[in-house]
Amino acid sequence: MNMNQKYYLILGIIVMVIITGVVFIVSNRSEADIGKPEPQMALAPYVDVEATVTSLFIDDLHSDCKAPEVCPRDRITLRMDNIDRTGNHSNVMNLNVGDEIEFNLKYSARPAKLRGDLPPSCRAGEVFKSGSCVSEGCEGSECGVSSPQYGEKPAEMEGNYIIYHLPQRTDEITENMLPGIEKNSKIKIRIWQPILMSKEIREYELI
């Protein structure tokens, strides 16, 4: 094996280790971490996709969970209609127009609201500010910063919407609405390599 072959072999191993590590982190996040910014995703290639829902499985509202929690495990099959590969610089994502892939949905295909209302908890002597815990009374870039802790609250029905309670990452409660998906719906999503490997979609946009 010459030097060029050894170089590409080592480079390939490093890329695979990075991707495997990102997949492990994403797949092992707790419910309390959902909605948290994912800086590790910046390491992974991605594509922006416009797709059509060709089939849809709507699970029972209380499947595989403890009452009165609402946690349907819905699934959809997507046909790739258009793929923007701007974020796939290394061209490692095996995804093509016309491909049909089944995905699990982290949140239901029914109308849902992702509500960031789980209050943060900081250590004694710290206060929550701009998404982090900082020393009380301290100002400026030299202040100590730590990550807040969050509790958990089961998803629940509120009118026609499933409410998913997520960690509050800002000084105010935020809410993002998912309008719901039906067969033949057209959606836009960003798919990172770890998502393509885990086959799980979190959020989407109707087009």
Q: Do the Cβ atoms of 83 and 190 come closer than 8 Å?
A: no
- List all residues 6 or more positions away from 99 whose beta carbon is below 8 Å from its beta carbon: 79, 80
Sign of CA dihedral 12, 17, 22, 23: positive
- Mean pLDDT is lowest, of 27-36, 80-89, 107-116, for 27-36
Whole-model pTM: value is 0.72
Structure tokens at 45: 């290639």
* Mean pLDDT in residue range 158-183: 93
Q: Is the pLDDT assigned to residue 78 strictly greater than 80?
A: yes
80 bridge partner residues: 51
Helix locations, the chain, DSSP H: 3-27, 193-198
Structure tokens at 140: 């400026």
Give the span between the Cα atoms of 78 and 139, in whole angstroms: 49
Q: How many other β-carbons are positioned within 10 Å of the β-carbon of residue 108?
A: 22
Sign of CA dihedral 198, 202, 206, 207: negative
Give pLDDT, residue 204: 96
Q: Do the Cβ atoms of 45 and 83 come closer than 8 Å?
A: no
- Write the single-letter amino acid at 147: S
Angle ∠(170,34,117) on CA atoms, nearest 5: 40
Phi and psi angles of residue 142, each rounded to the nearest 5 degrees, phi first: -90, 0
114-169, pLDDT tens digit by residue? Answer: 999 998 899 888 888 878 888 888 887 777 788 899 988 999 999 999 999 999 88
